[in-house]
Structure 1
Amino acid sequence: MEYQIKASSISNKNAAIQIKKNNIAFGTTAKSADTLPNPAELFLGAFASCMLKNVERFSAMMKFNYVKAIVNVSAKRTEKPLKMDNIDYRLTIYSSDENLNIPLLKKNIEKFGTIYNTVKLSCNINGIIEQQKDTTNN
């Protein structure tokens, strides 16, 4: 598989990533720091997107149903060298399905996530996956 994107910026303004038919705006100036994602947040967004895509993928393979999944991701940046040092996540799966095997799901996400595996080569990843019983879909 190969991937391709295009990104552009305007001096003293903001930037955007063009992916397929979508534009994702991001900040490159101090003026947009409170309103647009910065590159570090986009990086964490890619990490979270990988996890959520794999929840969907593995729900079919592992034969479990879920209503929604939410992942919260945080990271620490070191100054010397400048890099992400620790990424922590909490993935909550809203499901009442007894077929949801959390330890196996975690193992599969950690083994088969493209972005997850790329990131773990350069920093520590710590995470928790939990099931929240959904009472609306019994």
Structure 2
Amino acid sequence: MAEQKMRFHVESKRCSAHQSVAVCKQASIDLDTDLAGNPEAFNPAELLLAALSACMIKGIERVTPILKFQLRGVEVKVDGVRQDVPPRLESIRYEIIVDTDESDQRMNLLHENVKKYGTVFNTVAPGTELSGVLVRKPAV
């Protein structure tokens, strides 16, 4: 029997020359589709970086119960570099900061799981120089 594929659906609509909106389920996101830029919305490249960071956090949420990995919090910082011709993100660097008392070995295991099982991560990785680190949040 064929496995049921997970499907996703988003609808986006132009509101004006300055902004559009994307809707999915009961959520919406303002989109910067203004040629001059709109500081009150995510532009397409920023949305991709946000999707990548959300993928990493969701992956951590998925595997922490399986690994019995204890954490107090997660923060992800993502930076992309755009090339002009052809226009694309040539590189993306990330830092995943985990507030945990787990060992470095367990932190490495968590990072490997993020890289191996992330849908957006594995979609972006083949076409982009994607690299980063998973580090422990410094004690305050």
Question: Same-fold call, TM > 0.5?
Answer: yes
Identity %: 26
1:25 aligns with 2:36: no
For the pair 1:9 / 2:1, whether they are aligned, the reply is: no
Letter in 2 for 1:6: E
What is the correspondence of 1:1-138 to structure 2 with a 5 Å cutoff?
1-30=6-35, 32-98=37-103, 101-132=106-137
Helix, strand or coil for the counterpart of 1:45? helix
Count residues with an aligned counterpart: 135
Residue 32 of structure 1 deviates from its aligned partner by: 5.0
Amino acid at match of 1:50: C
Which amino acid in 1 is paired with 2:66?
Answer: M
Q: How much does 1:134 deviate? A: 6.0
CA RMSD of aligned residues (A): 1.8
Deviation of 1:80 after TM superposition, in Å, equals: 1.3
Q: TM-score, normalised by structure 2?
A: 0.88
- 1:71-104 CA-to-partner distances (Å, cap 9, x unmatched) read 0000101111111110000000011245971111
Q: Which residue of 1 aligns with 2:3?
A: none
Where has structure 1 moved over 6 Å in runs of 4 or more? none
- Name structure 2 gaps, 5 residues minimum: 1-5
Per the normalisation by structure 1, the TM-score is: 0.89
TM superposition shift of 1:13:
3.3
- 5+ long unaligned stretches in structure 1: none
CA distance in 2, matches of 1:64, 1:100: 12
8 A Cα contact 1:67 1:134, kept in partner: no
Rounded Cα–Cα distance in structure 1 between residues aligned with 2:135 and 2:104: 14
Q: Secondary structure at the match of 2:113?
A: helix
* Counterpart Cα distance in 1 of 2:38 and 2:18: 12
Asked if structure 1 preserves the Cα contact closer than 8 Å seen for 2:18 and 2:38, the reply is no
